[in-house]
Amino acid sequence: MESTKSYLARISSDISRLVEDIKESVVTIITEIPHLFTLFGYRPFTGFGSGFVIEPGYIITNAHVVRNAVSVNVLYHDGSSEEATVLAVDHQRDLALLRVRRSVKPIELGDSDAVKVGELVLAIGSPLGLPGPSVTLGVVSATGRTIVGEDIILEDLIQTDAAINPGNSGGPLINVEGQAIGVTTAIIPYAQGIGFAIPINSVRRFLEMLRRFGRPVRVWIGVYVAPLNPTTASVLSLPASEGVVVVRVVPGSPAYRARIREGDVIVKANGKSVKSVKDLRIAIEESIDKGYVELELYRGRSVIRLEVPIMIEEL
């Protein structure tokens, strides 16, 4: 029987090899952002973040990492650097796509829908602007989180106890197979002892919108939702234990005009069960050609069926 010491040594060695294999695919992002100084005009402010290669010549990072930047430089693990071109920014998903000339091996993308609570993950990036990659280890604490940050609401996030600090934003959250399952974000200022990552399948949808429309677009109806659980269902005295609860309706949006209200529970979209934020988003995006999404929802114990128009907005 393998001893505990040998077992831990093997696990440690496996993690080390995993990091060694993917470290060249993780980059530090250095931005120059104009900052207004009283009486002295504008002076450059240097910002830091992380990113990772998803295809040779293409890097994914957070939108807030490159926001308002007049120049974006990519620093590779070997110390070399180059200026990057920002191809697309989606502030709603907090994602940005950069193009570089250097061809670097991409990180394999996993399936964030298959992520399980309790599985081991690594957050890799450049915390506090220190050249990376720097690695922290943790577990997936929860999935499907909806978090309100400064001027942003992020849905369907992966929660982890792996340390994520400013500068980690945009780096990959890696599973034990060496696959990226999320894009870490440090945009949540009040998080203590927990971190969050945008699911990698959201990156896939972001890229699909780019391929289809040639630019980032938002396909939406104007609601922010959170997963329903048995406790919430009991408190609201709902006959359903699965679905998504509407936590905010955007004034003037299609959902607002359709009279969807905060507290409504969406249980079906286009006739299919809605069990997560992801399910609703996919149903909406799959309804682009039709122009509307069919929703079934509970308001208290009343069942309401609606056809809600879809809006496509350039970001």
Q: Which of 25, 112, 169, 202 is catalytic?
A: 169
User: Cα separation of 145 and 197, whole Å?
Assistant: 10
64 is catalytic: yes
Taking phi over 0 as left and psi of -120 to 50 as alpha, with beta for the rest, 128 belongs to left
Q: Which of 25, 50, 90, 94 is catalytic?
A: 94
Q: Which of 50, 64, 264, 279 is catalytic?
A: 64
User: In this structure, are residues 90 and 96 in contact, taking their beta carbons and an 8 Å threshold?
Assistant: yes
User: Cα separation of 52 and 123, whole Å?
Assistant: 12
Three-state SS for 254? helix
User: Cα separation of 25 and 72, whole Å?
Assistant: 17
268: which residues sit within 8 A by CB, 6+ positions away?
Answer: 274, 294, 295, 296
HSE, side-chain direction, 13 A CA sphere, residue 282 = 14
126 is catalytic: no
Instruction: Give the phi and the psi of residue 171 in degrees, each rounded to 5.
Output: -80, 170
35 is catalytic: no
Q: Amino acid identity of 289?
A: D
Strand ranges of the sheet holding 85-90, from the earlier edge strand across to the other edge: 81-83, 71-75, 26-37, 41-55, 58-61, 95-99, 85-90
Residues catalogued as catalytic: 64, 94, 169
